[in-house]
Structures are given as structure tokens and as C-alpha cells.
Amino acid sequence: MDKTTLIIGISKHFETVLEEAGAVGKGLHAKIDSVEHVLPDYVVKSLRKLATIRNKQVHSSHGKWDEEDVLSEALRLAGHVACIDIKGEIERLALNQERMTPRASLFESEPEPAKLTDELIATYLASLYAGISAEDLDAAVDAANTRAMAAFMTCSDDWDGLQHIAMMTDDEEECLILVAQSIQAGADIEASVSIIRQRLENGRLDEKVLLAKCLAA
């Protein structure tokens, strides 16, 4: 057997052994890289020596090494490798790392609860008047102005009656709709949202219920 065939056969044997144990990579050096963390240093050193001899022989065809010495070392090395449960060591190491790795769900900070911001309220109010016709809006303005003036309230702008009644009514849903209609009629959005805020502060609107509606809109 010529030297090239010998060293290729030896190298191929250890590649197969390592691959069956879970090593990956192209060539013996690469496979050693993937499992050297579970191999004794002397085994890694001997495997790399064989891989280097193999590469030099294949690429230059005149490597300076003694066949008997290399074959003898390969046989001893094969005996050592056979006594090592490489696959088991890899699996045990992976299991230990998994146990030591904190579960993300236990260490992640809890998400901040949603807050009832003015922007959220304004967006919800916009959803209430989206699609109201001009005729329906005019009718709502007239009805609100009539109720407001009956309560001796002044209505200078189209939306005044809507906002007056919104502040008076005890019906939460009616309040929200009236404020939404007042915005559609031209009322300032910030001032309109402040009506909702006032009712929230004095307990005439349920913040949790309103937040749920805003988030669902």
C-alpha cells in the first residue's frame, strides 16, 4: 500500500468515527474543530497531526513521515477514541447548558400596561363619527342645541350644544357619541378630549371600560 492510500484511509476512518458521534464539517480538521471541546487534549493533538500529514501527502505527494510510526499511532489513537463516548459527552454538555440558560419568560420584564392617552381617546372618538352623514350630523347638532338652550345654555358654535349635553348626560355611551359628533361638527379635538378627561376624573366615565373600547377600535 502506498503512503497516500494509507494516510487517506486512516484519515477517512477517523472522519467517519467523528461524524457518527455528531461531528460536522468538511475534512478531518473541520470535524475535529466541532468536537474538540469534548475530547482530551492528547486525542485532539494526535488527530490534528494525522490530518496535517494527510493534507501534505495529498497536496505534495512527498510527505516526510514513516508509515509504520503513523500506522502504530493511528491504531493507538483508535483505541483511545473508541473508549470515549463523544456523542454522549456532546449531549450532556448541551443539556447542562440548557439547564444553566435562564428561560426568557422568567427574566423578561413584564410588558407595560396600555395607558389611556389623549391620542388613544381621540382615535376612538374618530372611529365613532367616521361614516356619519351630513344630514345625521345636522340633526344631531339641532337636537343637542335644543336640549342645551332648554337648560339655558348658550350655543354660539354648532358644536356647543353637543358638548354641553355631553357634560350633562349620565349615559357614558351618549357622552362619547356626543363628543365625537362635536369634533365632526368642527370642535377642537384637544378641548373635546378634555371633556372626556374631566368625566374620568370625577368618576362619571369608567377608565377601564373606555380603555378597552379604545383598544378594540
The 10s digit of each residue's pLDDT in 193-204 is 999 999 899 888
**Domain span holding position 76:** 3-107
Band of residue 70 on the pLDDT scale cut at 50, 70, 90? confident
Amino acid present at 68 = E
Q: What is the pLDDT of residues 128-180, one digit of tens each?
A: 877 788 888 899 999 999 998 888 888 888 889 999 999 989 898 999 999 99
- Does the pLDDT of residue 181 top 60, yes or no? yes
113 domain residue, yes or no: no
Same domain, 73 and 138: no
Q: 57 near 81, Cβ under 8 Å? A: no
Angle between helices 41-60 and 28-35 (to 10 degrees): 160
pLDDT of residue 54: 87
Domain count, the chain: 2
Q: Which residues contact 175 (CB under 8 A, 6 or more apart)?
A: 166, 167, 169, 195, 196, 199, 204, 205
Same domain, 102 and 139: no
Beta strands in 26-169 (DSSP E): none
Do 86 and 16 share a structural domain?
Answer: yes
Give 25's DSSP letter. S
The pLDDT tens digits of the residues spanning 94-129 come to 787 777 666 555 555 666 788 889 899 989 888 887
Q: Are residues 144 and 206 in the same domain?
A: yes
34 falls within a domain: yes
| pLDDT attached to residue 79 | 84
Q: Is the same domain home to 140 and 93?
A: no
Instruction: Give the rounded percent of residues in the chain with a pLDDT score beyond 90.
Output: 21
**How confident is the model at residue 175, as a pLDDT?**
92
Which among 107, 134, 157 is the end of a domain? 107
